[in-house]
Amino acid sequence: MSSINVKVGNVDLKSPLILASGTCNFGHELSEYYDLSILGGLSSKGLTIKPRQGNEGCRVAETASGMLNSVGLQNPGVDFFIENDLDYMRSLNTGVIVNAAGHSFEDYIAMVQKLNAHKDKIDALEINLSCPNVKAGCMTLGADPVQVKEIVTLMRKETDLPLWIKLTPNVTDIKAVALAAQEGGADAVVLINTLLGMVINIKTRRPILHNNTGGYSGPAIKPIAIRMVAECSKVLDIPIIGCGGVMSYEDVIEFMIAGASAVEIGTGSLIHPTLPVKITEDLIKYTEDNNLDLRDLTGTLELW
Ligand code: SIN
């Protein structure tokens, strides 16, 4: 029997396709375009303890085969989210993944405690140890395996909700960071967040982004993400959620062969809001044509 259902650890998803954090807010806007229940899940905008206005000035720049963002974690704060958006996300009849960010260990622990109090409405916590656009926490913490293990260990004590750790590619050895997350008790890792980049306006000779740098996403980063998923798949016991440059069903399949159990789409859905519908239809057709259970593809890569 063909199927596109997948599992990430104990979490059942009706499709491998998840909308990446920061590209779908909490689902309100995109739900006007299509029925989000076809998706495996939706990852919320990165939330913090206090509301954040985000970075000032220009925050998005288009580039060849992608874009840079330096949003700076603009969000209404976790309490507002719990009160106003969590039930809405739950009503969408798809996986509810809540992306949580912080500036310090204390922030992350407080976030997990607050969200754990609503665990009946949440399928997984995606812990953002990777946003490159803030001065403290996130990537600054998530690039160091020692701190990653420590923070994941502390969060693990606070919840039995699945902890998916979203990692930064801006490191020398992604395996070391992913293994640190596993050792701390993570249930899965999400690979990858954006690559740190810069674009310059040649007239002003200044960076286009007012934060100077931003996170690079889109089709150009896919080979890097695939390489990192493949490397980590060989050493991890926990599942991987792939992310980076997905534009087609073939990209989803490539991530799964590399070792991903599920796959997030971000920039592709910003360019074409209904692209996830087309990818889902194509995945169903692919599994039917090949009489395939999609999850059987995970980690079937054979290296030369
Ligand atoms: C941002 O809000 O700056 C992007 C979030 C992220 O990269 O995790």
The string of pLDDT tens digits covering residues 168-197 is: 999 999 999 999 999 999 999 999 999 999
Query: For tokens 């299509």, what's the residue?
Result: 34
135, 194, 217, best to mutate for ligand 1 pocket (most atoms within 8 Å of CB): 194
Query: For tokens 């798809």, what's the residue?
Result: 94
Atom 5 in ligand 1: residue holding the nearest Cα: 131
Furthest CA-CA distance within the chain: 59
Q: Give per-residue pLDDT as tens, 116-130.
A: 999 999 999 999 999
Q: Which residues, 6 or more positions from 70, have their beta carbon under 8 angstroms from its beta carbon?
A: 55, 59, 60, 133, 209, 210, 211, 213, 214, 215
CA 73 to centroid of ligand 1, rounded, Å: 5
Compute CA 216 distance to the chain's CA centroid, rounded to the nearest angstrom. 14
pTM over 0.95: yes
Q: Which amino acid is at 249?
A: Y
Beta bridge partners of 42: 19, 96
When computed from its CA atoms, the radius of gyration of the chain, rounded to whole angstroms, is: 18
CA 285 to centroid of ligand 1, rounded, Å: 34
Of the candidates 93, 250, 262, the residue with the CA atom closest to the CA atom of residue 166: 262
Residues labelled catalytic: 131
Atom of ligand 1 nearest to the CA of 73: 2
Query: Alpha-carbon distance 26 to 180, whole Å?
Result: 30
* Share above pLDDT 70 across residues of the chain, in percent, rounded to a whole number: 100
Kindly state the average pLDDT of the residues 54-74. 97
Compute CA 138 distance to the chain's CA centroid, rounded to the nearest angstrom. 13
47, 69, 98, 216, best to mutate for ligand 1 pocket (most atoms within 8 Å of CB): 69
Residues with CB under 6 A from ligand 1: 22, 46, 69-73, 128, 130-131, 133, 193-194, 215
Does the pLDDT at position 98 exceed 90? yes
Beta bridge partners of 128: 166
pLDDT confidence band for 102 (50 / 70 / 90): very high
Query: Alpha-carbon distance 229 to 261, whole Å?
Result: 10
DSSP state of 14: S
Residue 89: predicted pLDDT: 98
Atom of ligand 1 nearest to the CA of 99: 8
CA 201 to centroid of ligand 1, rounded, Å: 22
Q: Are 194 and 217 in contact (CB under 8 A)?
A: yes
Atom 8 in ligand 1: residue holding the nearest Cα: 131
pLDDT confidence band for 281 (50 / 70 / 90): very high
Atom of ligand 1 nearest to the CA of 55: 3
| Per-residue tokens: 85 | 């958006």
Q: Are 191 and 182 in contact (CB under 8 A)?
A: no
Query: Can you list the alpha helix ranges (DSSP code H) found in the chain?
Result: 78-84, 86-91, 105-116, 138-142, 145-156, 174-184, 222-235, 249-258, 267-271, 275-289
CA 74 to centroid of ligand 1, rounded, Å: 8
Residue 244: predicted pLDDT: 98
Q: Give per-residue pLDDT as tens, 17-27.
A: 999 999 999 99
Domains and CATH numbers, the chain: 6-55+72-196+216-297 (3.20.20.70)
Mean pLDDT of the chain: 97
58, 126, 130, 133, best to mutate for ligand 1 pocket (most atoms within 8 Å of CB): 133
Residue 127: predicted pLDDT: 98
Residue 1: predicted pLDDT: 86
Give 142: exposed, middle or buried? Use CB within 10 Å, 0-12, 13-18, 19+. buried
Q: Give per-residue pLDDT as tens, 196-219.
A: 999 999 999 999 999 999 999 999
